[in-house]
Amino acid sequence: MVAFKAKSRELALRAFSGFIIGALILSAIYYGGRTWFLLASIISLISLWEYYQLLSKKFRVSKGIGFLAGILVLLASAEYLRPASILIIFTLTSFVLFMIEILRRQFSQVSYAIWNVGGTLSGLIYIILPWSYMVLLRAHPIGRTLLFSLFLCTWSCDIAAYLVGTRWGRNKFCEAVSPKKTWEGFAGGAGASILISAAVAYYCSLPPIPLLGIGAICGIAGQLGDLVESLIKREAEVKDSGHLIPGHGGFLDRFDSILINGTLTFFLFGVILS
């Protein structure tokens, strides 16, 4: 009985904090412009810091330099600068990190160039670039609808996968990385995501096929993207990336699936169908 009450309180806390976050994100998407850029930047930079905290449990990363580079990449996307500007940021960041390791080696006879450069840049690629794509996606002619669909499909997939997996899950899916995931939950999440995308297309009177693409992306790729963070946490030997969101853990825990979903959605609508 005590365990049931504790579980109920945890679910209620998780639902409440999830509702607040969802309302903030949907409101920011609706208003767009600086509002959306500011919220996306806050989420991405906190997630980046959590990621660097995880990596630092195993090896050295230059958190401050990575954080500064992340800000510059986000600003470049907000100003719609040419992709070359972002590549320059990555290149210069690499050289700065190498210079740091050269000096470290010179004065202390040890260096961590491979781990520092690789770890620091991986955070920018894994977290900052996807959020910059979502900033750019808002400028699409139907960017508001695309982002609404992206987040609604991602959230519905997460919820359905959890509920279906908890109730009917029997066959384990990638248990070495995430022991609680099941094929039944995977199917439930994918189905819910596609249904939500179809509902958005119907409600907005838009051609269904492109939006169903978002549903498929969020239902399939998003669940695989969730495994990425699970793998990182398993290697870092921690349960959550942080503790800032009650009932959810850290920001990276809450927004892990959206990273690959946002990237593929931008690729679909910002590159292929543009």
pLDDT per residue as tens digits for the range 180-217:
899 999 999 999 999 999 999 999 998 999 999 999 99
36 inside domain: no
Residues 198, 253 within the same domain: yes
Residues 220 and 93 in one domain: no
Residues 152 and 266 in one domain: yes
Q: Tens digit of pLDDT for each residue in 245-257?
A: 776 688 999 999 9
Domain assignment of residue 157, given as a range: 1-31+141-274
Q: What is the mean pLDDT of residues 260-268?
A: 95
Over residues 66-79, the pLDDT tens digits come to 999 999 999 998 87
Q: Which residue has the higher pLDDT, 238 or 52?
A: 52
Whether residue 159 is found in the same domain as residue 57: no
pLDDT (0 to 100) of residue 66: 96
61 with 26, same domain: the answer is no
- Alpha-carbon distance of 13 to 11, in angstroms, equals 5
CA distance to 79, 80, 92, 103, 145, per residue, from 141 (Å): 17, 15, 33, 49, 9
Partnered with residue 249 across adjacent β-strands are: 245
Residues 226 and 263 in one domain: yes
Whether 271 and 235 share a structural domain: yes
The answer on pLDDT for 3 being more than 60 is: no
146, 132: one domain: no
Choose the final residue of a domain: 91, 119, 139: 139
Can you state the percent helix, strand and coil of the chain, rounding each to 5? 80, 0, 20
Lowest mean pLDDT among 11-15, 237-241, 266-270: 11-15
Handedness of CA 154, 160, 162, 165 (dihedral sign): negative
- Domain boundary among the residues 106, 139, 172 is at 139
Clarify whether residues 102 and 118 are in a common domain. Answer: yes
The pTM of the full predicted model, rounded to 2 decimals, is 0.92
Residues 125 and 151 in one domain: no
Please indicate, yes or no, whether residues 270 and 148 belong to a single structural domain of this protein.
yes
139, 161, 185 — which closes off a domain?
A: 139
Domain count along the chain = 2
